[in-house]
Amino acid sequence: MADGHKVNHDYHIVDPSPWPLIGGIGALTTTIGLVGYFRYNNGQEFSLLGMNLASPWLAIIGFVIVLYTMFAWWSDTIKEAHRGDHTRVVQMHLRYGMLMFIASEVMFFVAWFWAFFDASLFANEAIQLSRVGHTGGTWPPTGIEVLDPWHLPLFNTVILLLSGTTVTWAHHALLHNERGQLTGMLAVTIALGVLFTLVQAYEYAHAPFAFKESIYGSTFFMATGFHGFHVLVGTIFLIVCLLRAMVGHFTPEQHFGFEAAAWYWHFVDVVWLFLFCCIYIWASAGATIAH
């Protein structure tokens, strides 16, 4: 009887899982809750099925459901890997999935770069007269003081480049089964990611322009802000990898979780280089630098 249940192929037939349904419910709840939260901030009602949902609580509940779904679903995936379900073929398709995810992220940032270049290259059409006296025809708009690209932005560029080096060091340490170097370099990478986030938060707090004052501020904060969000997500990703490495989850032969985190971190590095060159350096040429 035991031989009748023996698996004779390299594919993994997953067990029935509640997490796609629960995750979908959480995402829908979060979306409806955010609409209610926006209405709540504006002092308006949000009626749905006879109920006033204008409050922040529904969004919080939905977000908690999504977070728990992520934790539980990925925990199941880790258990499957330890059972030996992630064969060579399964690992190959996991890599394909991660590559497709990063490709979708590339297109996400293409949208923000598109918006930025459309506004900067066609300034007459994009810039409207605003309450602070910004006029069309120049980029950045007249009256806007920009951040010095050779100050905090350059410092953050060095931080991310160093973090790309340390995460690669950690990967090579894992391939050679050097556990001490693996955890040490992962910890350094996480520290650099946290430092980047703190520096960017300081930069935002002291920015000489606001999100709502002009299209320059809008495109700047949307592009750099979403990148900062990805750095935060990548840092959490690496923290999970560090905790797993400390309990011995990764081996030189099987470590896709760490590999996916390293790929994601390198993607974040590359996007920042484009942001630094285009939005910080190119767009500040000839503009008034705020000190």
Query: Over the stretch 68-105, which tens digit does the pLDDT of each residue have?
Result: 999 999 999 888 888 888 888 888 999 999 999 999 99
pLDDT for res 7: 61
Instruction: Please name the residue ranges forming H helices in the chain.
Output: 19-41, 57-83, 88-121, 123-126, 152-175, 179-205, 215-246, 256-275
Residue 144 to residue 134: CA distance in whole angstroms: 8
pLDDT, one tens digit per residue, over 157-171 is 999 999 999 999 999
CB 189 within 8 A of CB 166: yes
The amino acid at residue 64 is V
Give the Cβ contact number of residue 45 at 10 Å.
10
Alpha-carbon distances of 267 from 98, 161, 186, 213, rounded to whole Å: 12, 12, 17, 31
Please give the CATH topology (third level) of the domain spanning 86-289.
Four Helix Bundle (Hemerythrin (Met), subunit A) (1.20.120)
Name beta bridge partners: 51. 48
All CATH 1.10.287.70 domain ranges of the chain, comma separated, are: 1-85
Token duo for residue 273: 């280089």
All CATH 1.20.120.80 domain ranges of the chain, comma separated, are: 86-289
Please state the rounded mean pLDDT for residues 195-214.
92
pLDDT, one tens digit per residue, over 36-50 is 999 999 888 888 888
pLDDT for res 288: 80
pLDDT for res 126: 58
pLDDT at 291 over 80: no
Residue 52 DSSP code: E
Place of tokens 């504006």: 42
Residue 73 to residue 187: CA distance in whole angstroms: 25
The amino acid at residue 16 is P
pLDDT for res 127: 59
Lowest-confidence pick of 41-45, 65-69, 286-290: 286-290
Alpha-carbon distances of 162 from 59, 106, 183, 274, rounded to whole Å: 37, 22, 16, 17
CATH code of the region 1-85: 1.10.287.70
Please state the rounded mean pLDDT for residues 27-39.
94
pLDDT for res 130: 43
What is the reported pTM? 0.86
